[in-house]
Chain A
Amino acid sequence: MIISKLWPVAFIVLVPLIVLLYVLKQKGKDITVSSTYLWREAIKNTEATTPWEKFKNNILMYLQILTVLFLIAALMAPVLKKGGGDYKEAVIVIDDSASMGYIYKDEVTRLDEAKKRARSYVDSLNDNCEITLLKTTGGGQVVLSNAIDKRSVKQAIDDIKQTALTGDADEAAAIVKSLASNWSRYGVTIFTDTPVTLNDLTADVINLYSEGKNYAVEYVNYGIKENGKLTVLAKIDNFASDDTTIEVNLYGDGQILDIKSISVPANSSQVVYFEDIDFRGELIEAEVNNKDYLADDNKSGCIVTENSGKRVLLVTAGNTFLEKALNSVGRLDVFKTTDLSVIGKNESYDLYIFDSVVPDEFDLPGSVLYINPEGAEGLGVEGSIENSLITFSKSELSNYLEKAEVGVNHSLIFKRPAWAMGYLNNGDDCCGYYGEDGKRRIVTLGFDIHSSDVALKPEFPMLIYNIVNYTLEAGLTDNCQIMTGEKIKLYSRSDSNMSVKKPDGKVSEIDKGLVSKVYTDTDMKGVYTVSQETEDGTNESLVYASFPVKEESDVAAGESVKGGEAGNDVTPSGGKELRNLFILLLLFTVVLEWAVYIYQS
């Protein structure tokens, strides 16, 4: 038993006061009777001789003393220790990952159940307990820290929303472990549906894993045929333990395009194809019709990107290697010139490649690749190296090239601008960088392809492919397909602010002044619309965030842990508050006292 407050003990002075009031009886009203003979006899009978009679005669006094004692006890807010659950600090971790959307029982999700139990746990904690609340997504986020007000804690619990994010309680447990290192009397309760690695952390784990059929659309993709029609494929997962015929609907911009049934064996996947889909819109989605225990993973989709070819102007004295590599990229309209003066006169291009030449002035829309920009100003050339090996550092441009090395006779060294990232290095020297200077994407390559062995390497076409892909992606985002929880990198195309609309319609404004324009609030699956006002009107890019099916649709079952021992279903408790009990007893004694008084008088 723990006493929360001691000051009510002061009321104990009321007890001798009550006794005194009974000892000093009230002055009686004088009444003359014929004789006190019978009254004396009567009083003789009422005078207590046995302890029981003494008790009975003074029962009102005892009841009043009891009332005071119950009042004191209620004010002291005692808490009955229960399984060592009387904590000074309590930590509640609630798993809000996608798998917690699974039905636990009777249309109640695992997260709903977790929140319900967590609220009840909060109620069972003593009033002075400092409560810290964490959720597991985002590597474990502290929602509320050292809160004493139970109402605000319960509100914070209620405010935890179901996400479509991956996550387990391990990282949150690690955070709690570091938090708890300074605490002596604390309790940790983790509500999750997956096994938790506690690593010496003493914690109760309330595992809310529940059995139930689940079907999911793992991903959706498409191919464009010559006739412009689409072939759409969707991977359908059956996580149930029996073979199931699954009906899949295909939607284009919300309109149904096709329906197919597919038989998927137990615990396996099948790809369903939708051929010759005549669709010119942007959003394609596939949805499983079968009812199951996790609804959020039943639908997935992708964004159909622009199909028209991009225009590339290659300014070079002649570079066969480069031309061939550009041709291998495909669907590019490549124009070649040796005359710098034609630039900007007739047509605009999506990408300008300056091979060993540098324009005096360049202020056109479109991305630029500078190859060996000897003598260029404004590109940060600060020196050169001779006969050296150049390596690739990890970047968007060096996908699949991390292990490649290029031998060069001569290469420029750049002082990398603040907005750029290096991808080619010789030691600490930067031999190539890429980035966006606020107007366009710029890539530099410090050496002439002819004076290196890069063209002879099998990785050369991949390097050109990466560069072209990077420079031709002129949308507002770097990608149109992400998993929930992944960042959306934003590229500004004008001076105005950007905005991102979530699948639930919530719009976030992105300040144009931000150096790093990254949108991270991707906890929901569905379409995120990135918008920016430009001179030509509103520029929009769509990004589809998919449900993390692999990680969350079929999580492993875990066990509950209470007091270090595993069990199936444990109920958390932080001790039993006795205040209400004492208030009830107090009310009972008051009623009893009243009844006794009425009876006696």
Chain B
Amino acid sequence: MELFTTDFFQKVNTLKLAMLMRLSAGTSGARKSTAKGTSVEFSDFREYMLGDDIRRIDWNAYGRFDKLYIKEFMEEKEGLYNIFIDTSKSMDFGEKKKSEMALKIAGALSYLVLGNLDRVYVNELKEDAIRIGKGLSGRNAWGKIAKALGEITFDGKTTLSSSILRRNIKVRGASIIISDFFDREGIEGALKYLAYKKQQIVLVQVFSREEINVDYEGALNLIDSEDGSNVKLTMNRQAVKEYEDTLEKHVSYMKGLARKYQASYVQAVSDESIEKVLFDSMIGAGLILRK
């Protein structure tokens, strides 16, 4: 199935990523950095200190104040984006599969990152391991990203925290986790780690329509697609209500975690259009901006 169509690109081209933090590490790029550098963009004045490059003395200021001032300029760095995709079997569920939506979101965000001359890593989370993608930047790299996304398979089970902890992040940046977060181990360990690594965190929780609107009845034996474990229950009004309450609590918990680690939370349903997710949910959350 064609994930990324012309229509998709036309819509994504109207958007740009918002990276609120200042970067201080990484290679030079198109993004303002807290580091003073050699770009043409003026940043500040300060008095000359021994060891400063005398070429950066502002002689006009010296003439006016009779003191030596150094003119500082902004250093422009590239943004680093880590996209973590949960590739467990539970993502491969639904009439409209959650995995498709996850890949579309990852593709859209990657495209935006590349368009912003930033670097993106698409990481696959599988079992308790991680398959770190190549760091790619520049529009030309889109082909590789699309290929990599197309090759991702969804099976087995994933322990999100353990997997993410295996990603050694050295510089500030943004980490986007796309998952259904049906993880008994929890995600907090990963969030703690990413926050420590000064990451702007985005949690994208993907549900299928069947998970939101339960339409089962009678005596059922629910089998877990990941580990084959089962749950026996009689599906009645009470059971459905309990499930809905539990789902609501789970979402609230995720939102609570997001608040705690100053992360953004976005919810997507697999049968929704990518436009809706991008324009409504992500713009609403302030993650991406219209150009």
Contact = CB atoms under 8 A, between A and B. Distances in A.
Given A26-B219, A43-B242, A600-B237, 19 more contacts: A28-B219, A28-B234, A31-B216, A31-B221, A33-B211, A34-B94, A34-B211, A34-B225, A34-B226, A35-B90, A35-B225, A36-B224, A36-B229, A37-B183, A37-B184, A37-B224, A39-B233, A46-B242, A601-B217
Given A42-B239, A43-B231, A29 B245 contact: no
Contacts of B219: 25-29
Contacts of A30: 220-221, 223, 230
Contacts of A25: 219, 232, 234
A32 B223 contact: yes
Interface string B157-195: 000000000000000000000001011100000000000
Contacts of B94: 34
Interface string A39-64: 11111011000000000000000000
A41 B221 contact: no
A360 B89 CA distance: 141
A34 B222 contact: no
B224 to A, nearest CB: 4
A38 interface: yes
Contacts of A601: 217, 236-237
B185 to A, nearest CB: 11
B223 A33 contact: yes
A40 B227 CA distance: 14
B220 A599 contact: no
A35 B222 CA distance: 9
B214 to A, nearest CB: 9
Classify chain A: how many residues form its interface, as a range.
20 to 34
Residue with the greatest number of chain A CB neighbours at <10 A, chosen from B91, B183, B239, B245:
B239
Contacts of B249: 41
Q: Which of B98, B182, B221, B222 has the most CB of A within 10 A?
A: B222
B87 interface: no
Instruction: Determine the main DSSP class of B at the interface with A.
Output: mixed
A41 B246 contact: yes
A37 B221 CA distance: 14
State the majority secondary structure of interface residues on A: mixed
Given A31-B221, A36-B222, A38-B247, A43 B234 contact: no
Nearest to B216: A31
Given A25-B219, A32-B225, A33-B224, A38 B236 contact: no
Contact of A31 (B208, B220, B246): B220
A180 B10 CA distance: 108
Contacts of A38: 182, 211, 243, 246-247, 250
A513 B215 CA distance: 94
Interface string B14-41: 0000000000000000000000000000
A33 B222 CA distance: 6
Contacts of A37: 182-184, 224
A41 B249 CA distance: 10
B93 interface: yes
A35 B226 contact: yes
**9 tightest A-B CB contacts, nearest first:** A34-B93, A28-B221, A35-B182, A34-B90, A37-B182, A36-B224, A28-B219, A42-B242, A26-B219
Contact of A600 (B210, B225, B238): B238
B220 A28 contact: yes
Nearest to A30: B221
12 contacts: A25-B219, A28-B233, A29-B221, A33-B210, A33-B223, A34-B98, A34-B225, A35-B90, A36-B222, A37-B182, A39-B233, A39-B243
A34 B245 contact: no
B143 interface: no
Nearest to A40: B231
Contacts of B211: 33-34, 38
B90 to A, nearest CB: 4
Contacts of B223: 30-33, 36
Interface string A561-601: 00000000000000000000000000000000000000111
Nearest to A597: B236
B182 A34 contact: yes
A117 to B, nearest CB: 53
A28 B222 CA distance: 8
A34 B234 contact: no
A33 B93 contact: yes
Given A31-B216, A33-B93, A37-B184, A599 B224 contact: no
